[in-house]
Amino acid sequence: MVRPGIPAVLLVLGLIEARGADDALLQLLAQGAAARREEIESLLKARGGDPCSTLSGYALVRDATARERAVRGLGEIGCRDVEHYRPYFSDADAWVADALLDSLARNRVGEAVPYAIDRLSDRRRLVSDAGSWTLSEAAHGSLRTLTAQPIPPPRVGRSADPAAAWRAWYDAHRDRPPASWIASGLESVRLALAGDDAERRLEALETAAAVGEPAETLLQEALRRAPSDLVVTLSCDPDEPPRVGDQVACTLMVRNVSRRRVALAAGEIATVVSPWAPEPGPAPASPPRRGSAAPPSRTKETKAKTGAAPPAVARPLDARRLRGHFVDLGPGDSLRRTLSVGPVQTAGRYEVNTRLVDLQSGPRKEDFASSDAPPIEASVILRFEQ
């Protein structure tokens, strides 16, 4: 029997904690990221009932890791009713909030827009193996996924209230269905990409990537380029001939030589260094005089291979992996990336093949195979001395 005056939530909390030792699902959720989706779904199936309601019921457990994993589980199994997430809305843990923003956006729970807007002022930073971000940044990404609106992210000095622009938009559109939000947002994205404003174009690209599948065709078109749009060069200029144990600083430069803006989803630099073997050519008409033949240059700058034009139908984009990697080059603009070459095992000439990984097509930085878009690559011959 419960004494008068004790809140019902405390009773529920006590019941959950009391069964904790016998609750296999709670123990699994407490493992956090180590708890695999398949294992969670198996336990939910064995327990019976509505799995979304089951995970919603763990909002009161004391273990923050378990609460976070329960919220991510809601997202993974496709729970779309905001009421299943609402018990977690008052949770003060940063990782739970991050899980909410991700799961609500993943399942396009439009009723969660006010929750995401309220998180725009939360500057707490989260760090994991996947990188570092603030809750404010996560909230902004979720809002873009939910609404497709290319509203610029809150920045210091731009507005006293980082959420002002989003609140104004929501007040004007809250009574419209989420599908109309997406439609109007994608039209705004389309118009921005058709213009020459670099900042607006970048915001439009980031928004399209956040929206995902509804914006895939639009994003594919925005990233399309012709083989002649870019000139890529690789240059290495050591102060003196490098030795086998040295590292040589090189620069990969990507220049837009077209008359339009060119957008890229630029990833890491991938480099392959291999012994250089010159291709056999025709025998010279007469042997050169002794001492007259100059040795090959120890550095050489080359243009990239042109490659074939993109096919009419491009492969599906993994839009989420493009976020934060967009570069928008105006006519004549260049992107520079530095890299180091060496050390090598033995003296001799080496061919250095370098590619700027194109995230819209190259699945791995080691992938040097042909892709849907012309490769962004160049090579140089470099001689190392003993």
CATH 1.25.10 domain locations along the chain:
8-221
Query: So what's the pLDDT on residue 131?
Result: 87
Asked if 59 and 74 touch (Cβ cutoff 8 Å), the reply is no
- Sign for the CA dihedral angle at 282, 285, 287, 288 comes to negative
- Of 31, 36, 22, which Cα lies nearest the Cα of 67? 31
Average pLDDT of the chain to the nearest whole number: 85
Q: Which two tokens stand for residue 291?
A: 């001492």
8-221 under CATH 1.10.260, yes or no: no
Lowest mean pLDDT, pick from 26-35, 114-123, 280-289: 280-289
Query: So what's the pLDDT on residue 282?
Result: 65
**For the segment 221-232, what is each residue's pLDDT rounded down to a tens digit?**
999 999 999 999
Asked if 116 and 139 touch (Cβ cutoff 8 Å), the reply is yes
C-alpha to C-alpha distance for 331 and 46, rounded to whole angstroms: 60
Looking at residues 283-292, what average pLDDT do you find? 49
- Give 43's pLDDT tier (boundaries 50, 70, 90): very high
C-alpha to C-alpha distance for 204 and 191, rounded to whole angstroms: 9
CATH 2.60.40.2360 domain locations along the chain:
230-277+296-384
Secondary structure (DSSP) of 65-79: HHHHHHHHHHHHTT-
Asked if 207 and 141 touch (Cβ cutoff 8 Å), the reply is no
C-alpha to C-alpha distance for 210 and 194, rounded to whole angstroms: 19
Secondary structure (DSSP) of 86-105: GGGTT---HHHHHHHHHHHH
What is each CA distance from 90 to 18, 26, 94, 119, 289, in whole angstroms? 23, 20, 11, 12, 85
What is each CA distance from 124 to 138, 151, 152, in whole angstroms? 11, 21, 20
Query: So what's the pLDDT on residue 317?
Result: 62
Query: Using the 8-state DSSP alphabet, how is residue 269 labeled?
Result: E
Residue type, 276: W
Query: So what's the pLDDT on residue 326?
Result: 96
Place of tokens 């086998």: 244
**For the segment 149-203, what is each residue's pLDDT rounded down to a tens digit?**
999 987 655 556 779 999 999 999 999 999 999 999 999 999 999 999 999 999 9
CATH classification code of 230-277+296-384: 2.60.40.2360
Q: What are phi and psi of 139, to 5 degrees?
A: -65, -40
Looking at residues 329-337, what average pLDDT do you find? 97
How do strand 334-341 and strand 131-134 relate by DSSP bridges? unpaired
Q: Provide the CA 116 distance to its chain's centre, in angstroms.
A: 20
Q: Is the pLDDT of residue 351 over 50?
A: yes
What is each CA distance from 65 to 69, 72, 75, 176, in whole angstroms? 6, 11, 16, 36
